[in-house]
Amino acid sequence: MGQEKNEGDGKKKPPVDSKELRKKEKKKWKEERKRSKAEKKAIKKHHKRIQTKKTNKRMKKNKRKAQRNNDHKGEFFLKRWFSKKKKT
């Protein structure tokens, strides 16, 4: 009667360490991030696959043009030199 009964198998669990908790959360976050990236990549791949050759070329051209504008670079110098100028 003087003995206390322990819960379960008599082993006590140590309190949850905040470092362990952070590790678990980080691992969970990484897995979720990896899964979402893979999903986005699959969607993009499918979208590209269903386009025609002509559309693919146009998309590629527009992508390059957008990157050039974002980098604040002009067109290739030969294109600039020999392109038709607008009359003002």
Q: Please list the pLDDT of the chain residue by residue as tens digits (88 residues).
A: 555 555 556 676 666 789 999 999 999 999 999 999 999 999 999 999 999 999 999 999 999 999 988 898 888 899 889 988 877 7
What pLDDT is stored for residue 81 in this prediction? Answer: 92
Question: In this structure, are residues 20 and 14 in contact, taking their beta carbons and an 8 Å threshold?
Answer: no
What pLDDT is stored for residue 5 in this prediction? Answer: 54
Q: What is the pTM of this model?
A: 0.47
What pLDDT is stored for residue 17 in this prediction? Answer: 85
Question: In this structure, are residues 63 and 57 in contact, taking their beta carbons and an 8 Å threshold?
Answer: no
CA-to-CA distance for 34 and 19, rounded, in angstroms? 22
| Domain boundaries, position 52 | 20-73
Whether 79 is covered by a domain: the verdict is no
Count of the separate structural domains present in the chain: 1
Whether 8 is covered by a domain: the verdict is no
Whether 6 is covered by a domain: the verdict is no
What pLDDT is stored for residue 3 in this prediction? Answer: 55
